[in-house]
Amino acid sequence: MEGLKYIAIALTTLGMGWTAHALGGTFTSLFTSISRNPEAEEKIGKYAFIAAAFVESMGLFSLVVALLLIFFVN
């Protein structure tokens, strides 16, 4: 049973990796759109940072689940 706990922890770290990938995609799209339309930088930037906050929250939720599995699951 202890081995399954560590497999579950490893699977929750995938959420953190996907978060990093999604943040890279978000900011890649941000820089691409700003380079194509510099006048819309303020409007696009606000939405990009809101999207980045939502994506980062998923990574933090994965971290919390991993910590709960480490310290509170027998």
pLDDT at 67: 93
pLDDT at 68: 94
pLDDT at 2: 84
- pLDDT tens sequence across 42-74: 999 999 999 999 999 999 999 999 999 999 987
Confidence category of residue 30, pLDDT binned at 50, 70, 90: very high
Contacts 24+ apart (CB under 8 A), 6-14: 8/69, 9/66, 9/69, 9/70, 12/62, 12/63, 12/65, 12/66, 12/69, 13/62, 13/66, 14/62
Assess whether pLDDT exceeds 90 at residue 1. Answer: no
Which domains, from first to last, does the chain contain? 2-72 (1.20.20.10)
